Amino acid sequence: MDFSAWMSSIQQRIESALEHLLPASSLEPARLHEAMRYATLDGGKRVRPLLCHGSGEIFGVAPELLDQAACAVEMIHVYSLVHDDLPCMDDDVLRRGKPTCHVEFDEATALLVGDALQSLAFQTLSETALAAPRQVSMLRLLAQASGSRGMAGGQAIDLAATGQALSLEELEFMHIHKTGALIRAAVLLGAHCGQADEAALASLTQFANRVGLLFQVVDDILDAESNTATLGKTAGKDAAHNKPTYVSLLGATQAKQKAAELRAQAHDCLVPYGAQARRLHELTDYIVERKF
Ligand code: GRG
């Protein structure tokens, strides 16, 4: 199966699994459930679930076994987007091509959507068919990736950095937590589903760290380019929010150079897995070549 057919098939599986895992909007409290479904379904590239599946494929895991872990990571991701869009954070009105959750519903509902999605993620991960010790490791991994030493901590650093001059090291530290932690969790959860040993988890951590940063560098480049195209500005949305980015710090040419280096390093990390890592190689390229 070529990459684009594989990607569509996983995206469809994830959509259908999320559809079943999310409470029906006919269930009370109906408005909360409707808002959870609004924020989660029918949108997004599903990069984290794709990474989870790609990683599981290295170990020959059946797709059905990967869906719950992949959906759990996506639920945490959607919760972070809903909260990030709130007026007290980035105050955004559009997400995934439609009004943000708090605009479509209201702020209190959006806050609860994030809370409830976070809980549902851990519930979903606790219901896999894996043996209890493995499941506990996976729950710990996702909790660490989401919490104050992971994504939420990265967001705190980001908020504190608004309007500040950051060094490249500080910017990288922020992104390793804010976006990198969840991307790492996606890769490692897929590997856990395949009973990966410590050595494999360590080498895939190296891969995921590169891909996490790569994702962010490319995001900054795309953001800057879309603003240049539409508004004639040279900086993107984050820079407009007075937040430092790879492009504002390095300039577009060096940011692209950085992306090329991270891409090559990510591919190198997969060499020991040979053809089994085909999907992770392809996803690395997709992350660089995507248009949004
Ligand atoms: C509120 C606790 C808390 C955390 C928020 C990750 C994050 C932390 C906020 C996301 C804000 C943001 C737009 C970050 C830039 C990079 C990024 C994560 C973009 C969105 O991810 P994609 O491109 O989105 O995978 P889709 O919609 O495709 O899923």
pTM reported for the whole predicted model: 0.95
Instruction: Find the 93 Cα to ligand 1 centroid distance in Å.
Output: 14
Instruction: Specify the ligand 1 atom closest to the Cα of 95.
Output: 27
CB 255 near ligand 1, within 6 Å: no
Render pLDDT for 219-271 as a digit per residue (tens, 0 to 9).
Answer: 999 999 886 655 554 445 665 567 789 999 999 999 999 999 999 999 999 99
pLDDT at residue 243, as a whole number: 79
Nearest CA to ligand 1 atom 2: 152
Using the 8-state DSSP alphabet, how is residue 234 labeled? S
50: exposed, middle or buried (Cβ count in 10 Å: 0-12, 13-18, 19+): buried
Phi-psi region of 44 (alpha: psi -120 to 50; beta: other; left: phi over 0): left
Mean pLDDT of the chain: 94
pLDDT at residue 238, as a whole number: 65
Instruction: Specify the ligand 1 atom closest to the Cα of 146.
Output: 2
Q: How many CA atoms lie within 13 A of 6 on its CB side?
A: 17
Q: How far are the Cα atoms of 52, 62, 81, 194 from residue 141, in angstroms, in the given order?
A: 13, 21, 20, 15
pLDDT at residue 229, as a whole number: 58
260: tokens are: 């090329």
Instruction: Find the 279 Cα to ligand 1 centroid distance in Å.
Output: 22
Which residue in the block uniquely carries the two structure tokens 């040979």?
274
Backbone torsions φ then ψ of 274, nearest 5 degrees: 55, -140
CB 47 near ligand 1, within 6 Å: yes
d(CA 25, CA 79): 18
* Low-confidence winner among 177-191, 243-257, 271-285 (lowest mean pLDDT): 243-257
- Rounded mean pLDDT of 202-219? 97
241: tokens are: 């929010």
Domains (ranges, CATH) in the chain? Answer: 3-289 (1.10.600.10)
Render pLDDT for 110-165 as a digit per residue (tens, 0 to 9).
Answer: 999 999 999 999 999 999 999 999 999 999 999 999 999 999 999 999 999 888 88
pLDDT at residue 234, as a whole number: 47
Sign (positive/negative) of CA torsion 216, 148, 132, 196?
A: positive
Beta bridge partners of residue 94, listed in sequence order: 99
